[in-house]
Structure 1
């Protein structure tokens, strides 16, 4: 009788121990923060097999992904449940502004993909082979969204980031000279960016006198600024961290949009 009781106890311990090992290894809750996240925010065990490049911003209820295919940039918008998002507010005459910069911040494109089906936008591109970051600038209706970089590549060439602060903030493009006059270059201050257009008056572009896009040196912090008033090239912004930033100012002259880039240091 004693031998049977000992055998039963050993058997029971084996069952309990086996269950504990199983639960520890394959339980439904995971707290491994290094595990990649898939499109709907769930943890995924598959690494390096995603076809799309995805913006995983935890503060957003809309998740954009980008794919390069047959000379096109394809942007897909999904909510946290994986459903397509197509209910967008028109923002400066467009549903989507796609800002594409090379990782060395030398190349810059301001594109406007068109919706081809619910939640899917496409646009042809002629980007050189290289490494890029895309910023999907949208205003979803009824959903929180924050723009964040989506890295992608065309080919296998990596760009090195080596920004040099401009000693002169005067640039020329398209026969027009534009000078940037910042009210300050200090962190955590409201800063006015005034552009001296040397007597030229730009044409309205996307519902505004001009547009300004700002990125930090690492290409993470995205700022899209519009003029303070309708008839003056004055823009207001604030830098929350010190560092080197690149500013692209866009103005339209004689039916053509020109880009004027500046590199500044915020202290």
Structure 2
């Protein structure tokens, strides 16, 4: 489901069934159905249009934020994270993923069909042979993060489940010099928030704030709990991914 706001796009998604006939129109069908080995892998999959009853190829999609397809992967502890852009190799889709930790991962494919339909579909993958699985635990309310010298801080304020909120955030540098924010995939930043159980994903493109190096995040968190929030942006041409967490009240 998509909800458009002025200058801001919010995509809400929940885990779909894993077979044709599920609630999602576009279904992900991984090439390997069993366990995957850990590390840097080439993840191959098909996309199936359950309404048109055909495979989805490169020509069936239009660019969405400068890419035909976005693939988001994270583990159940909400510590490991990938946001990559698959390519169609003539027979199926493929993307490089870095999955170092054992356990279950959620994998989402997001894009837009040529008829204007946007989709956000998911499967699970089980990883073996890597680092010990990270146990799930409450993340708490941690609204400041540092990545390679870039600092992002989200404003304080109560967030309540099911209610639209607007949160300001600032971008700075650890050394005190001003950040130099340039668009990332056609937006000021990309924000991906995931529910505590991993089954709900919010993908937001925040608006640029009134003050330099600030942004405004609009979102509705559907359930209570500690959400993992990854903010991705370009600072001086370098992509930074900053993990925070926001506690959502009932």
TM-score class normalised by the smaller sequence: 0.7 to 0.9
Bigger Rg over Cα:
1
**Cα displacement (A) at 1:153:** 1.8
Q: TM-score, normalization: structure 2?
A: 0.76
For the 8 Å contact 1:88–1:138, the answer to whether it is kept is yes
For residue 76 of structure 1, the aligned residue among 22, 46, 52 is 46
1:203 is aligned to 2:182 = yes
- Bigger strand fraction: 2
Instruction: Give CA-to-partner distance per residue, 1:12-37, whole Å, 9 cap, x none.
Output: xxxxxxxxxxxxxxxxxxxxxxxxx8
Alpha carbons of 1:91 and 1:182: their partners in 2 closer, same or farther (altered >3 Å)?
farther
The alpha carbon displacement at 1:139 in A equals: 1.4
Distance 1:165 1:113, change over 3 A: same
For structure 1, the 5+ residue unaligned runs are: 1-36, 42-57
Greater Cα offset, 196-205 or 88-97: 196-205
Cα 1:206–1:216 shift into 2, 3 Å: same
Query: Which residue pairs with 1:165 in the alignment?
Result: 140
TM-score scaled by structure 1? Answer: 0.71
Alignment of 1:88-237 (within 5 A): 88-117=61-90, 120-131=92-103, 132-142=105-115, 146-155=119-128, 158-166=133-141, 168-181=142-155, 184-198=158-172, 199-229=178-208, 232-237=214-219
**CA RMSD in angstroms, aligned pairs only:** 2.5
**Which sits farther off after the overlay, 88-97 or 64-73?**
64-73
- Matches of 1:77 and 1:93, distance apart in 2: 19
Q: Given the superposition, is the C-alpha separation of residues 155 and 141 from structure 1 closer, same or farther in structure 2, using an over 3 Å criterion?
A: same
Q: Runs of 4+ in structure 1 displaced over 3 angstroms?
A: 37-40, 67-70, 143-146, 156-159, 229-232
Using the alignment, how far apart are the partners of 1:230 and 1:206 within structure 2? 18
User: How far off is 1:235 after superposition?
Assistant: 1.7
- Is the Cα contact below 8 Å between 1:92 and 1:207 reproduced in 2? yes
**Per-residue deviation, residues 12-70 of structure 1 (Å, max 9, x unmatched):** xxxxxxxxxxxxxxxxxxxxxxxxx87433xxxxxxxxxxxxxxxx3322211234579
- Gap change, CA 1:238 and 1:126, over 3 Å in 2: closer
Q: SS at the partner of 1:225?
A: strand
Q: Is the 8 A contact 1:62 1:144 kept in 2?
A: no
